Structure 1
Amino acid sequence: MAIYFVGDIQGCYNELDALLNQVGFSSNSDQLYVAGDLVARGPNSLETLRFIKSLGKNAKIVLGNHDLHLLAVYQGIKKVKKQDLLTTLLAAPDAASLMQWLIQQPLIQKLPNEETYMSHAGLSPQWTPKVAMEQAEIAHQHLTSSASQTWLRNMYGEQPTSWQNANDDLERFRFTINSLTRMRYCHADGSLDFNCKESPASAPKTLTPWFEFQHISQHTQWIFGHWAALMGKCQPENIYALDTGCVWGQHMTMLRWHDKKIFIEQSHKNQR
């Protein structure tokens, strides 16, 4: 059995399929870990969800910000963004079952028997992996509860930016969603910044990428997506950035875990 991690698919199903063929992925014996943002701005979000769902327990997914927004759109909380290509998905006859499956997915995945984690955006400098796992599970319980619509409606917003200022269940939930699905940069105290999306070379000196806070021990591995501007480059070596901007015309990245080999598939955008 081989374990593969893939960065943001964003509805680029053809590139995902080509990558899986490239590595000889077996849907019966291999496992595919998907670092969130399965859907949105690529042309084949419906096919992507159907395929990942068909893998059953051999697919391990975390929710990204685009996945959560899709769930809010489906429940009538938000409108589809103009740049999102979700019309076919939302009109599909199996949309309800796909949405029910999607909302059941967690915010963090941990590999069994090792300190290896995956979330869409990363790990807040104000958290340990243990705290992150606890808060991710609480958020998961909220999203899958009978009050799911209320929690989805209230996940939007940028406050609080600091875990220390999260004073009630709603604020802790919103901080959890933001840190695990939207975070890129933090201020010196570890609080979240939502304005800068540039590469570290172009960012203001007052901001630090979340992974440079040295809050993840060298014995722990963290895999994330979300940040295409990094193009897979980040330090330290036990942190892996997998969003390489396939939907923007760059390429999709897959990591084979046992030997850390990287596979890429160039975007098919110019072929469409």
Structure 2
Amino acid sequence: EWLPTLEVHQMCGRAGRPGLDPHGEAVLVGAADTRDELVERYVEGEPESVESTLADPASLRTHVLSAVATGFAETESEILDVFEGTFYAREAGAGGLADAVGVAVGALVSADMVRRETAGGVDDYRLAATQVGETTSRQYVRPETGERIVGGLRTAAAMSNATTLTAFELICDTPDMQDTYLGNEERAEMYRFARRHAGVLTTEMHETDDFEQWLESVKTARILDEWIDGATVEELVEAYRIGPGDLDSRIERAEWLLSAAEALADTIGVGVPSVSRARSRL
């Protein structure tokens, strides 16, 4: 499958150090019989059109929360005014987002990220971020991630045996953590691992909306837990078929999400020492 032309141009554009190198060099590598198509696609070809993702429901919830939490908007109308200055509005007009913004606000209210403060009549209200919503926005995590972490923290706080694996599973089962491929050959072993450690996981198997995705998050959590216990990069690459660069990116994301979890724990007033232990050992 061919990479998008825009993506290749972006990578090639990183060649050379601005202000230090007079020019940069990028090399396209491919099979001999693809030379002409490589040139046609990536040297002579035009990049694909850029499309805004603002209208995507998950993206929209994040931006709506940000607009409310930062005080830029207190009503749905003001949220649309904020979006008038976006690339999406330039392409399609922010007015088309009116219904979607209403849905996003409703979802944020249900997630306890935003509250409606009635000013007079039933329809006369202003929007304000809750403490959880403010912390979620400040930590730059998606509302869905914040909601999942808060729920996981409350579950972990009620445990008497929460471990660093608990902390990692809590943050890995969020949309802000990258997926880790789970091969057919390791699925059964990961299932057995999850059953053996069910007592320290914040999600029960029968509660998952997407079992396969959750099992992938358990794999990521297991990798991170073994990493802080002293496993080497080579051992993890061999055992879990994960590239060294992919491991680095997951460790980096784990540090960010554990930091967000600590902040959210302070916000809701629960203590989960395993989160801080996991972060300090990364």
TM-score, length of structure 2 as denominator length: 0.28
**Which one has the bigger strand percentage?**
1
Structure number with the bigger relative contact order (C-alpha 8 A, sep ≥ 6) is 1
Structure 1 length as normaliser, TM-score? 0.29
- Structure with the larger helix share: 2
